[in-house]
Structure 1
Amino acid sequence: MKCNISRRVFLKGAGVAALAVASSAMLSGCSGDAVEEVVKKDVTVFFIYGGVKQNKTATVKVLKTDTTFNTALITPDKLPEGFKVAKQGEVAISADNTAEVEITVGTATKIVEVRFFVGQQQLPKTGTAEVAADATVVNASEIKMPDDYARMYEITNGQPAIGTDQDGKLYTVAILAAKEMTFSVQYKLDGTLLLVGTYDGLSNITTVSKKDLKEENLKYLEEKGYEPAGDGTVNGDVVTVKLQKIMGNVKVIYKYKNRTVDDTKSLELWIKDTKVTGETLKKQAPLDFPTSLRYTIDEGLFDVIWTGNSGVVNATVSSRF
């Protein structure tokens, strides 16, 4: 099964991504100085190499309430020449609005936040990409996706542009499409696992139609007397299919000393039932009145003779007198 994306849908999604980058970049210039004074604070960053504090410092702006900041705010031009951040991530801010960041020798890079879209909907989780300091785009291969996203989706825009949001954070937009994957299919009867199969489909499905399940699995179950009770439900990479017994219609003929004593009755039995008790017949195919006044159904067991999904039971009765 292939994941087909029309040119119209792809271009529409790419347009959303470009608009998101462009509009956020414009918004970064819309904050007035007075507003920034109220909500932002400057944090002085000291760089540590080999346990020694370097002469060069940097300044980053964060919300006044922030107690940490992400090293993605340290752009390459703020680093000492020939160095890069040793470990990307959150850094604690001291009470005096200073922070210390470990650096190491190497080509300067920058961390870009990756925001994921499926169509026009933004997904809640984000990813990252570490790119060269002068990069203006991100290659799809550089993007680290959350594990569950990586399992379900593939990136369709190969080199999304890098923008800057109103908080000065570098980011890009990745357009995702569901990818084909193999699901494990568990066939269960009243919670008991009877068979495990597979199903190939798009990762974002929530149900699997019972008519789309593999024919060889359905045939095997039918031979055992079972069939799907409905469509399969998807949870992660597992499809659960609830089973039910295949029932057949059975005619019951009651005889007393080889003489039929009542009209033919009918009941439903599982097609794998080869015997039926008199107790079952009393409950599901009782004698009519007034025959029931003269006869009682014997205890059985009685043979069920099947032809396909139809069967016949020759049952005996005893006289009450």
Structure 2
Amino acid sequence: MSNISRRQFLKGAGVATLAVAAAGVLAGCSGNAGPDVPDVPGVTTRPVTVIFMKDEGNGVTNVVGETAKIDVLKTENSVKVADIDKKLLPEDYHLENENAVVEVRKDDSKGEYIIVFVTDVTVTPTKKTIDVKLLELPNNYIKAKAEVAVDATGVSAADIQLPDGYKLSTDYGTAEELLKVRPFDTVFIVTKL
């Protein structure tokens, strides 16, 4: 402290005070967090907890995943759901309504928080499993499975999950012919390895 004069100390303190005041003025002039408003936690913004909820129907809602923290301007009393970073969402969920604006609530135990509704990410299957018949000559039928595209109209040898110890027979067609799509009720001929 001996290297700093009183004048230098007061000058530094004045600059710091002006910076904080300017940040507050900028926050008061802007209605939303944009590039014009600096994000200075504790000065221009405050932490708000995000609670993710899922509507189960019949008036039942459940908390989903972990809560998250976001910074909200001190002058704001609501948050645009679309502005929430998608990385904060619980895994396998997406926003129920990106156009929603949610109110910042306050609770003695939770502090300031918002509730954001999410829904399950519906994964559309691209494949389905079907039963196929395999024939080991002269008359031994073996059941097997094949995985085909959901909209497939037939099956090829490449789709079949052969049982251990068997291979497709090329005695009744070439390998290229076996790869052609055939109707689902086609019987493929197999031989033991």
TM-score (norm 2): 0.46
Q: Compare CA radii of gyration and give the structure with the larger one.
A: 1
TM-score (norm 1): 0.30
- Where is the strand percentage greater, Structure 1 or Structure 2? 1
* Greater RCO (CA < 8 Å, at least 6 residues apart): 2
